[in-house]
Amino acid sequence: MLHSVMSKAFTDFLKKIVPLSSEEETDIARAVKVRTYPKGTLLLREGEISRCYYFVISGCIRQYYIVDEEEKTTFFHIENSFVISYDSYMKQNPASHYIDCLEDTTVAIIYKEAEEEMFHRYPDLLGLTRLILEEELSKYQDLLASYIVNKPEMRYRKLLLSQPDLLNRVPQYYLASYLGVTAESLSRIRKRIIP
């Protein structure tokens, strides 16, 4: 019962992007696996090959790299977002980063074999994948531009506007890493913005 409720959350999200026939919806719900991971679970480690991607139903996931023995956070994924190690999943290359759960997290898991089977049965779903990838690419492009164009304080202000709930869900040192500053600098930025 819980699996069907959670997989329905995934198919309901997809139906907001493109219409799905009842047959497509049923087959997609059967193809995805729903699982809850406890806080601290590593979903992918550097060097592993990704055989699936995730859709976050509830919880928060962080993507990060280790550079000179220091974790560098590059992305947070919360409800209704996809988590994919693109290069590893698409090309079956070893991942260069880590993906872990910052909270108890429930995800719909889409395995490569199941996805390929769905595309074989329903070729029109390739258009859905393209739309999702375009949206994800847009997010990454905006994030990259923000690091080039904006100072840390502006990146923090944008985060306040776009994902204010992250500030209460994510430890400050991860937010600082994500913004490209030290925890002390983030504290100073917050004091200037919120006296």
Domain range summary for the chain, segments of one domain joined by +: 2-121
Q: How many CB atoms lie within 10 A of CB 122?
A: 16
180-183-184-186 Cα dihedral, nearest 10 degrees: 60
Q: Which CATH class is domain 2-121?
A: mainly beta
- Collapse the DSSP code of 110 into the 3-class scheme (helix H, G, I; strand E, B; otherwise coil) and give the result: strand
The pLDDT of residue 145: 81
Which of 102, 90, 85 is closest to 47 using CA atoms?
A: 85
**Under 8 Å between Cβ of 103 and 57:** no
CB contact at 8 A, 131 and 17: yes
Task: Read off the pLDDT of residues 39-70 as tens digits, 9 standing for 90 and up.
Answer: 999 999 999 999 999 999 999 999 999 999 99
Over residues 63-81, the pLDDT tens digits come to: 999 999 999 999 999 999 9
Residue 4 confidence (pLDDT) = 67
Q: How many residues are recorded in the chain? A: 195
What whole-number percentage of the chain has pLDDT above 70?
Answer: 96
CA distance linking residue 7 with residue 31, whole number of Å = 9
Q: Mind listing the pLDDT tens digit for each residue in 114-136?
A: 999 999 999 888 888 888 888 88
